[in-house]
Amino acid sequence: MEIATAPSVVDLEKQYLLQNYARYPVVLHRGKGCYVYDTAGKRYLDLLAGIGVNALGHAHPRITKVIREQAGRLIHSSNLYYHEYTGPLAERISLASQLPRIFFCNSGTEANEAALKMAKAHGRKISPEKFEIVSLENSFHGRTIGALSVTGQESYRRDFEPLVPGVRFVPRNDLAALEQAVGDRTAGIILELVQGEGGIYPLTAAFVRKARELADRYDAILIFDEIQCGVGRTGKFFAYEWIGVQPDIMCVAKGIGGGFPLGACLATAEAAKGMTVGTHGSTYGGNPLGMAVGNAAIDLVLSPGFLEHVQAIGNYLRQQLAGLIAEHPSVFEELRGQGLMLGLKMRVPNTEFVAGARQHGLLIVGAGENVVRLLPPLIVDEEQVREAIALLSAAATDFETEKKTVAA
């Protein structure tokens, strides 16, 4: 007689969940700092950080303490009432960004949705024909219909078209194309200052300045999507600080919650004018638990020396990666990115390399155009960088050995 065994968590997910994720064959159990452990006890160095979410690493004592205490006090109350944490967090982010109006939500996509609504409301007050949005080819802004409509990658869009009309896409860093696309009908221009999902491509300062100039010329709203590149990821609190161009609206998420789901849409008073009572909302947005955690996360990111550490360790990681590329030129092609948002352009399939690195105990993720993305926790240190380089080198050596074996 056969004894039935309980289904595994993998079997249960395959049976009951939408099959919209290509999950890696790892069941994670716990994390600490820059490491995670699976249910079998294997340790992995995490250079993925939940796709940039776990900016402070795993189980940070300050974040853990705040979650524990606030969960025992008040988790959710709705936006019908005030609570103690939203105002202070809004003030700190506003002072850091010079954007005085903030809408809190749960994710980056929701922040972008709020930004698009603001831009369209602003345009409509000027003219019913002023509704177009200019975005970039190869961009990624989210999965909802609105955010997807301004995402410049056909692979994400094709199954859901027709999407929201009136979106124009231009090549990144093409000043002439941008100038041609923006006009009197333009309500907003949306830019990732570093394209993440598209392959870790920074925008040039000249291109961003041109976008600001055109937005001013045509009374359009300039939106910066800093969901992946913001909150310390590039070594400044916001990536736009490197260029010195101020947006009308900025969207942030990921690292702002220290691992807890949290997003925010920041705006000038002028850009936010159209968002009056009843025009937008979020049941969970701005909940007490999220706001308490957000305050703690911002405390840590803005603490003395934190951003300087990100800049220094980012430079160190770049130096080490340059040596890695020189050592394995048949595997790696080039390095690009900024701070601790880096991409390795591959000469071998990035999906296979990600799988090979995982076998060696390193978690990384792919991006567009055959890139491997490195988004370590911002607390990563030099010893962990050296460990990461050794693991990347081991994975690269596997490819070189396999190629020599096939050739033989």
Domain ranges of the chain: 9-59+305-407, 74-301
Cα gap 392→362, rounded to integer Å = 8
Residues 79, 406 contacting (CB under 8 angstroms): no
Tell me what pLDDT residue 336 has. 96
Residues 370, 346 contacting (CB under 8 angstroms): yes
Q: Between vectors from CA 95 to CA 268 and to CA 52, what angle results, nearest 5°? A: 90
Residue 43's DSSP bridge partners are: 37
Tell me what pLDDT residue 6 has. 55
pLDDT block averages, 10 residues each, the chain of length 408: 60 91 91 96 97 97 97 96 96 95 97 98 97 97 97 95 97 98 98 96 98 98 98 97 97 96 97 92 95 97 97 98 97 97 97 97 95 98 98 96 61
Alpha-carbon Rg for the chain, nearest whole angstrom, is 22
Tell me what pLDDT residue 289 has. 98
Cα gap 211→337, rounded to integer Å = 21
74-301 and 9-59+305-407 share a CATH fold: no
Residues 130, 123 contacting (CB under 8 angstroms): yes
Tell me what pLDDT residue 213 has. 98
What does DSSP say about strands 194-195 and 201-202: parallel, antiparallel, or unpaired? antiparallel
Question: Would you say how long the chain is, in residues?
Answer: 408
Report CA-CA distances (Å) from 358 to 61, 107, 109, 169, 275.
27, 27, 28, 36, 46
Taken in order 290, 291, 292, 295, the sign of the CA dihedral is positive
CATH of 74-301, one of 3.40.1410.10, 3.30.70.270, 3.40.640.10, 3.30.750.24: 3.40.640.10
Q: Give me the residue label for tokens 């954007």.
A: 99
Fold of 9-59+305-407: Aspartate Aminotransferase, domain 1 (3.90.1150)
Would you call 349 helix, strand, or coil by DSSP?
coil
Question: Cβ neighbours of residue 84 under 8 Å, at least 6 residues apart?
Answer: 288
Would you call 4 helix, strand, or coil by DSSP?
coil
Say whether pTM exceeds 0.85. yes
Q: Is 56 exposed, middle or buried (0-12, 13-18, 19+ CB in 10 A)?
A: buried
Q: Is 45 exposed, middle or buried (0-12, 13-18, 19+ CB in 10 A)?
A: buried
